[in-house]
Amino acid sequence: MQELSPKEKRQRFKEMAWSRVGETNKNRLGSVMVVDQYNGSQDVTVRFVEHGNTVKTTWNQFISGSVRNIYDKSKFGVGYIGEGKHTIRENDRYTDKFLTWSGMLMRCYSKKFQEDHPTYKDVTVCEEWHCFQTFADWYDENYYEVEGNRMHLDKDILVKGNRVYSPDTCAFVPQFINGLFIGRKALRGNLPIGIKTCSRYDNKYEVRCCDNKGGREYLGRFDSPSQAFEVYKEYKEQVIKDIAEEYKMQIPDNLYEAMLNYIVEVTD
């Protein structure tokens, strides 16, 4: 078989490249993609039809459907990366904003997580935050740190009882402040928050509450759950106000106001 001349090889490649431009396929998550440019098997430009975004890939990845689309809902069936300035990895590790976003989606849309944490059932994320880029913009505008504390993304201090993660309902909160608002319903049964039965003292109701120094304060024993709760409520609301004042200059104004106005209820 006669070997092709350099000119013939170039012509043959052009014909092959031309034949592959315009070919379509679907990636593994069902996004339709089309070859816009073919410069060899290792240099292929693919365009995703729905949003028009393009990506450099290889012919094998195109054929196998392993090309990733930034609009694919690859996180728990709802979250997608989107187009923008924010990257999900820096220096070979996931960024904190990406981990925060992923963790939020996991709490709301992972069945396995909710089996272990049933309080998150029926909690959702607003549609705009399904896009990582949009969430990351909000993250950059609202994230801050309090020395010595991990920061938590909280959904229900600003709006009590809220079940939707959104820009209007969320705030970053130091871990120890966030801990003030944990109800622990699974541990206390049918009793009001802060109350437990004390069988050693004729089934009186004992009250303990976290204080503003990170410890727990014993508040006494009472004859009825309602008496015990009123003592707990007064003490707990004052603790929250005291901590709000102490950290007023370090936390956002909306969190400070929410803490000052927070009302402890028997159903918490």
State the amino acid at position 212 in one-letter form.
N
Digit-by-digit pLDDT tens for the chain (268 residues) are: 456 556 555 555 455 556 799 999 999 999 999 999 999 889 999 999 999 999 999 999 999 999 999 999 999 999 999 999 999 999 999 999 999 999 999 999 999 999 999 989 999 999 999 999 999 999 999 999 999 899 999 999 999 999 999 999 999 999 999 988 876 655 556 788 878 887 666 778 888 888 777 778 888 888 888 898 899 899 999 999 999 999 999 999 999 999 999 999 888 8
d(CA 158, CA 155): 7
d(CA 165, CA 139): 13
